[in-house]
Amino acid sequence: MTVLSVNLNKVALLRNARTLGIPSVTRAAGIAIAAGARGITVHPRPDGRHIRTEDVHALAALLKDHPGIEFNIEGNPFHSVIDLVRAVRPHQFTLVPDEPAAYTSDHGWNLARDGERLRPIIAAMKQLGIRVSLFMDPDVDAMRLAAALGADRVELYTEPYAAAYGTPREDAVLADYVAAAAAAVRAGLGLNAGHDLSQRNLGRLIAAIPAISEVSIGHALTAEALEDGLATTVRHYVRILHEAGQGRA
């Protein structure tokens, strides 16, 4: 079954608007875990606009008391996050090709251009026992390249799917993701997915691609939690994943 990893960036962004230390990133993590999340994701950026170095260490310490919960750190390995990953040794490092000033992640890796730069980083992370996932567009041909570089998984960048959901383009765009996922599985890669997923669009994606092991969701989940509460919102996502995996979504 697909599991939920809760991205806490937007919780940290709200916290950083004041100097009171609330909302607490670690408390949010604890609530999400108690409600059924099976992972915690953070994407620290060089400017510290949301998740900060001290948050990453605090979450790593918290998760030592939750051995069944995975810690996923996202980031561009060429922009300072690599030392933090080496220090913390999360379960998974998701390599994302965003620039330091990028508003948010908005594309996957161009492996024809960047693959050889990534190869030694992937190897080094795997030597530390860290699973490596590459943030990728739904490109069938790129899945073979990702596997050849030694990646364990790919995370499908799902913003185009989310944008097309509910429009006449939905079926065609989803078909691209299904094809890319099949190519990844053929290449021996595990599958993750994330970006702009929500309660509205998640079920169909998972029903169409049951091989997805993990979804990382932050922005929509945080926004929905403002209305319904964090624990309730996490439980809603876990239910959607369960029902989609059972073929009922």
The one-letter amino acid code at 207 reads A
Q: How many Cα atoms occupy the beta-carbon half-sphere of 204 within 13 Å?
A: 16
The one-letter amino acid code at 219 reads H
CB 215 within 8 A of CB 209: no
The residue from 74, 155, 214, 224 that is catalytic is 74
195 assigned to active site: yes
CB 115 within 8 A of CB 149: yes
Q: What is the rounded CA–CA span in Å between residue 55 and residue 137?
A: 29
CA-wise closest residue to 151 among 114, 177, 178: 114
74 assigned to active site: yes
Whole-Å CA distances, 22 to 128, 131, 249: 34, 31, 36
The residue from 43, 50, 155, 224 that is catalytic is 43
- The sign of the dihedral angle between the CA atoms of 196, 212, 40, 230 is positive
The residue from 50, 70, 155, 195 that is catalytic is 195
43 assigned to active site: yes
The catalytic residues are: 43, 74, 195
